[in-house]
Structure 1
């Protein structure tokens, strides 16, 4: 009943702000290093960011149709469950619980530690302790209650736009330290174009991550059929422009060799643009932005195993259902998520973790895009307050783009893709075992 009593209070501007706040995180500052290391040229770097934005726009517009047609708590898990059945829906929830959210938390904690060490000139041996301490501190904030976590999120949402605005507005008008050629689009060195593009595009997808949630507010919008496509189109278009501009500034400030694989590139570019003290202030703003993104993923992530437990879809559901008496937070789920993230911090680098989580989520994204076609044919009478424009072109573009990312990643990063697929498929025996235990309990 509660799902049907959502108040329709969100305006076009409110939805636009939600898109901006959901998508813009830490990737805009730190994925340039990975994109450049694959592209090896300014032209292909910028092209990858533009292409990533267009693909994200098609994905967001497509998934929003399901968000309005199936406005249930659980979001993407419910879209897949509605279309394909309980097991596929569970596998997405499983992948989010053991890969997507923990990997995000681990990757962002690592990047926070990297920037903290760079800012204060500390020993690199402190990276893991700082990363683990950062992830733990955010988990503790969330265990102190939703209000505490929400207040932190609101504060960092404002702060994270400041370094972006400063770098773009000042950097664009600064004299170029490096000559940037955007045409023709080609890779540098001896790397093949498809290999370079696929790696660079996959890297941009972490920065554009968040599009899957942009349709979640559809049930609370005043005019979703009119305002939702506008909010997605304007929001993701603006984000793409910002990402392209900030990367153009990085490219004209630092050389390809200075950017490639350098997770401190944003800080070093800021130092060159604003001077030593100004660069430090911008880096502090970036650190706050990363901490806010980390808080957002932590706050959302602990509710996924909790939601699965409420439906008794995972082992030890009674434990994962537990809420702290004082703060009413699923603390077992929070501890579980942090422990997986801590293990990932020991095992993986920032780029490895983010590439794996992007790959796994795009596996399920393809199911979501395909679900639009399946439900249009299977349930034409289903109420759809919003329909994806230019159907079937936009969903088809989203599917083709997703296939390109997945297939090329399978060939170019086979081990990474195999690990992601393997961990996801581990959810099948977990699901079947849990179903068997439930059956025995009923007897």
Structure 2
């Protein structure tokens, strides 16, 4: 894949790291404690430990991913990586599923989360229009230029840390601190090994999005220097924030109570600050998910643009158009528009499950690609290498395989059906790719 030349290289390490942190810290940190402590039977220990274990697995994945991203620093992220490592059709299928399923599902899920919190102020009848309106606003902002979209990302990443810091600081200052935090590990009669697997799958959603910075590498000023810092540094910051804030939650409310609350962060804020606390956190969640949603629109549109630039998608000529601000406005509209359609469902958990299921097969192929590149390109200059090779890549690969197996076979009928749907959409991409490429070849011959 030839690197796209039309995009301006005006994104620095601050925007790249903000894209990682901004895309990842969205709604999971506010909503996942309920699912976690339900799985543990109301016991806190393994729930807290799982945030660390899953964070370390994500860092292993990020360290592995960074080597591929540095060697192939092209706009499009995994599309470019997998095309170089395996074949054009593998890269296309990754971009195809990202364009149609992963990015729109994440965008719509975050918009729905935003609307659910806004409903506390304006009523539930406006929830769907608000969700769609948020996506439309973000589409407009990103059409103004990558520096505008990147600037929005930096601003909202900083803003979203404010309510998190308030909960952490005042949680420890004003919380009673008398609740159990590290013991017991799980409730009576539960198998810790089985519970840990369920916890990791739940928590992985909260870490979803750290790969997005690779999709904007082609617009970074110095990707060789900045990309590893952005990916690894961003995931490390995220893990630290998640670990500390979950201890702060337990400092205020016990795990068995958090398990019964659909909005545990709001309940903690209510305990700390009174009636205004719930509203304060609702605003914080809205800021958080808006920044995350912006990050997915910014990154997802570049995947669609990358495919269109190589004439791999239907209507590629239209989707590859750059506007006066030198951003792929039609690709932004495509990804955001599909997100608007998904948002009409109003089902946050279904959309997040769909997004996670659709992404991990290609994540794992990327991890395996590090070892393949070491074999196929032994003499290539590597400005960054995965530390502790091959241990770290193996950890990433095993984690990916576990997620895939769990989602298809162990996580319930809904997960199995969503997995089957994602696989079907992926397979549909094969004839689409062949037909589009065939037409492109015929057009070239006519010229």
TM-score, length-normalised on structure 2? Answer: 0.86
> Which shifted more, 361-370 or 127-136?
127-136
1:13-52 counterparts in 2 under 5 A? 20-21=21-22, 23-40=24-41, 41-52=43-54
SS at match of 2:362: helix
Aligned 8 A contact 2:4 2:75 in 1:
no
Aligned 8 A contact 2:168 2:245 in 1:
yes
> Which shifted more, 406-415 or 227-236?
227-236
Query: Cα 1:281–1:272, aligned 2, differ >3 Å: closer, same or farther?
Result: same
Aligned 8 A contact 1:35 1:201 in 2:
no
From 90, 104, 107, the equivalent of 2:106 is 104
Aligned 8 A contact 1:34 1:351 in 2:
no
The gaps in structure 1 that reach 5 residues or longer are none
1:182 aligns to what? Answer: 182
Query: Cα 1:85–1:350, aligned 2, differ >3 Å: closer, same or farther?
Result: same
Question: Cα deviation per residue 1:20-79 (whole Å; 9 max; x = unaligned)?
Answer: 455433332233333334343322321221111011110011111112222223222111
Distance 1:389 1:143 in 2: 38
1:383-394 counterparts in 2 under 5 A? 383-394=381-392
Query: Cα 1:214–1:54, aligned 2, differ >3 Å: closer, same or farther?
Result: farther
Q: Is 1:62 equivalent to 2:61 in the alignment?
A: no
1:270 aligns to what? Answer: 269
Q: Is 1:93 equivalent to 2:91 in the alignment?
A: no
2:141 aligns to what? Answer: 141
1:368-383 counterparts in 2 under 5 A? 368-383=366-381
Aligned 8 A contact 2:180 2:250 in 1:
yes
> Which shifted more, 250-259 or 85-94?
250-259
Residue 124 of structure 1 and its aligned partner are, at CA, apart by 2.9
Query: Cα 1:344–1:39, aligned 2, differ >3 Å: closer, same or farther?
Result: farther
Query: Cα 1:7–1:428, aligned 2, differ >3 Å: closer, same or farther?
Result: closer
Distance 1:26 1:401 in 2: 23
SS at match of 1:31: helix
> Which shifted more, 201-210 or 327-336?
327-336
Q: Is 1:132 equivalent to 2:132 in the alignment?
A: yes
Query: Cα 1:310–1:214, aligned 2, differ >3 Å: closer, same or farther?
Result: closer
SS at match of 1:302: helix
Q: Is 1:259 equivalent to 2:258 in the alignment?
A: yes
Query: Cα 1:261–1:343, aligned 2, differ >3 Å: closer, same or farther?
Result: farther
> Which shifted more, 240-249 or 146-155?
146-155
> Which shifted more, 31-40 or 17-26?
17-26
> Which shifted more, 67-76 or 139-148?
139-148
Residue 220 of structure 1 and its aligned partner are, at CA, apart by 4.8
1:210-289 counterparts in 2 under 5 A? 210-213=209-212, 220-221=221-222, 224=225, 235-256=234-255, 258-260=257-259, 262-289=261-288
2:158 aligns to what? Answer: 158
Aligned 8 A contact 2:107 2:296 in 1:
yes
SS at match of 2:174: coil
Query: Cα 1:217–1:278, aligned 2, differ >3 Å: closer, same or farther?
Result: same
SS at match of 2:382: coil
From 392, 395, 415, the equivalent of 2:393 is 395
Q: Is 1:308 equivalent to 2:310 in the alignment?
A: no
From 112, 115, 121, the equivalent of 1:113 is 115
Distance 2:108 2:385 in 1: 36
Q: Is 1:170 equivalent to 2:170 in the alignment?
A: yes
TM-score, length-normalised on structure 1? Answer: 0.87
Distance 1:129 1:39 in 2: 36
The gaps in structure 2 that reach 5 residues or longer are none
Query: Cα 1:80–1:351, aligned 2, differ >3 Å: closer, same or farther?
Result: same
Residue 390 of structure 1 and its aligned partner are, at CA, apart by 0.6
Question: Cα deviation per residue 1:81-110 (whole Å; 9 max; x = unaligned)?
Answer: 111010010011111111121011110011
SS at match of 1:383: coil
- Number of aligned residue pairs: 436
SS at match of 1:172: helix
Distance 2:314 2:29 in 1: 37
Q: CA RMSD in A?
A: 3.2
Q: Is 1:290 equivalent to 2:292 in the alignment?
A: no
Distance 1:322 1:256 in 2: 52
Query: Cα 1:300–1:9, aligned 2, differ >3 Å: closer, same or farther?
Result: closer
Query: Cα 1:129–1:400, aligned 2, differ >3 Å: closer, same or farther?
Result: same
Question: Cα deviation per residue 1:106-159 (whole Å; 9 max; x = unaligned)?
Answer: 1001100111113x2x44343222222222222233334444433322321221
Aligned 8 A contact 2:48 2:181 in 1:
no
Residue 9 of structure 1 and its aligned partner are, at CA, apart by 11
